[in-house]
């Protein structure tokens, strides 16, 4: 991964001498992939079909795209997502854009990879609601048009498996990256890509301490071994008005997975890429606006009170992290003319 060192200037209308340096990194043009699941066009095409297909949810109404909408910021802009039978989850859906750059998946890091993550929502009773993964896969197997896609992606030796379906979805998700944001162009040398206020916000973002967690090319922490996860306590400072106002102590985070006392209120550090598009904010979707999220984070994580000017500058900089989205069209899903796989019908 190429690292780009950008020296920021202190901007007050016109730039003056460089005031601080930080190792800013542009987003790579290709996501990392595991050795046991190299990305191929055939896997990506199959994964795209499965990602958009709601038929292997219990009610036939919920697909991956329902909560991680690729026509938006990769989430659904709701505090909590709605699954089968109108059930609501307990955490805000994170964006799927650039999820391939995370070292673990889900807010609590319970999935070590995109492959593992792809299996979770299918059998979650609040999300897609299937009783087990094989029953969900039976629906896919029952649709004749899917078999050729599996054969092309994985060969002819019993390719229609749960693991292969998850590998295909993960391969597709590894294409969901958004490079070439104004920020990326700036750190690659185009000094006109960010205006003076955006550069000032970039400097403030680092000076305040935001980069202590939101570092690296995806602004989600340092590069780590896949499955390790980068977690931080949230909130770190509890004695302030925001903790109660936004109910930040209710969810115990990673503790719900490990049951270890040390993991209470630990959460995966989310990417800030395209963060301007993913309101509401935090794991519980409790904060509606980006400027308020910046204020809250400064106080509960760094114990700092930001001025209105600092908040505005940081928000303007965060807007410059919105990248270029790949061209995408909705797929034509394999059909079942005259019958349906939903429910008890064969």
Catalytic residue check, 127: yes
Among 14, 307, 321, 343, which residue's Cα sits nearest to residue 177? 321
Torsion of CA 65, 67, 73, 78, to 10 degrees: 150
The answer to whether the beta carbons of residues 220 and 228 sit under 8 Å apart is no
Catalytic member of 115, 127, 173, 292: 127
Three-class secondary structure of residue 108 per DSSP: coil
Helix extents (H) in 22-76? 41-52, 64-67
The answer to whether the beta carbons of residues 104 and 227 sit under 8 Å apart is yes
Segments of the chain assigned E as strands: 6-12, 14-22, 231-233, 266-268
Check residue 8 and report its DSSP letter: E
Distance, CA of 65 to CA of 60 (rounded, Å): 13
Distance, CA of 271 to CA of 25 (rounded, Å): 13
Residues near 342 by Cβ (< 8 Å), separated by ≥ 6?
Answer: 55, 59, 60
Distance, CA of 154 to CA of 162 (rounded, Å): 12
- Bridge partners (DSSP) of residue 266 are 233, 253
Q: Which pair of structure tokens corresponds to residue 192? A: 């006109």
Distance, CA of 81 to CA of 47 (rounded, Å): 22
Query: What is the per-residue DSSP string for 208-240?
Result: HTGGGTS-TTTTS-S---TTT--EEESSS--SS
The answer to whether the beta carbons of residues 106 and 92 sit under 8 Å apart is no
Rg for the chain (alpha carbons), in Å?
21
Residues taking part in catalysis? 127
């Amino acid at each position: 991964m190429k690292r780009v060192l950008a020296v920021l200037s202190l901007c007050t209308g016109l730039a003056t001498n460089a005031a601080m340096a930080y190792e800013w990194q542009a987003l790579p043009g290709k996501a990392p992939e595991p050795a046991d699941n190299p990305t191929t066009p055939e896997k990506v095409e199959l994964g795209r079909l499965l990602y958009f297909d709601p038929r292997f949810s219990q009610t036939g109404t919920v697909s991956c795209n329902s909560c991680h909408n690729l026509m938006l910021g990769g989430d659904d802009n709701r505090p909590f997502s709605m699954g089968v039978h109108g059930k609501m989850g307990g955490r805000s859906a994170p964006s799927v854009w650039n999820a391939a750059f995370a070292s673990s998946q889900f807010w609590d890091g319970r999935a070590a990879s995109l492959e593992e993550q792809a299996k979770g929502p299918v059998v979650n009773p609040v999300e897609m609601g299937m009783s087990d993964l094989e029953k969900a896969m039976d629906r896919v197997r029952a649709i004749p048009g899917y078999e050729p896609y599996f054969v092309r992606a994985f060969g002819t030796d019993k390719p229609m498996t749960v693991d292969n379906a998850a590998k295909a979805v993960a391969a597709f998700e590894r294409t969901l990256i958004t490079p070439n944001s104004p920020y990326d162009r700036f750190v690659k040398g185009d000094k006109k890509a960010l205006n003076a206020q955006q550069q000032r916000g970039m400097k403030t973002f680092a000076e305040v301490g935001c980069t202590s967690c939101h570092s690296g090319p995806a602004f989600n922490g340092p590069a780590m071994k896949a499955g390790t996860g980068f977690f931080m306590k949230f909130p770190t400072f509890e004695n302030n008005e925001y903790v109660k106002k936004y109910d930040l102590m209710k969810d115990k985070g990673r503790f719900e997975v490990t049951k270890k006392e040390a993991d209470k209120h630990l959460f995966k550090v989310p990417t800030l890429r395209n963060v301007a598009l993913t309101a509401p904010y935090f794991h519980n979707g409790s904060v509606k606006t980006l400027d308020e999220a910046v204020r809250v984070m400064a106080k509960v994580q760094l114990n700092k009170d930001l001025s209105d000017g600092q908040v505005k500058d940081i928000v303007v900089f965060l807007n410059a992290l919105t990248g270029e989205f790949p061209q995408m069209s909705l797929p034509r899903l394999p059909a079942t003319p005259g019958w349906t796989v939903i429910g008890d019908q064969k």
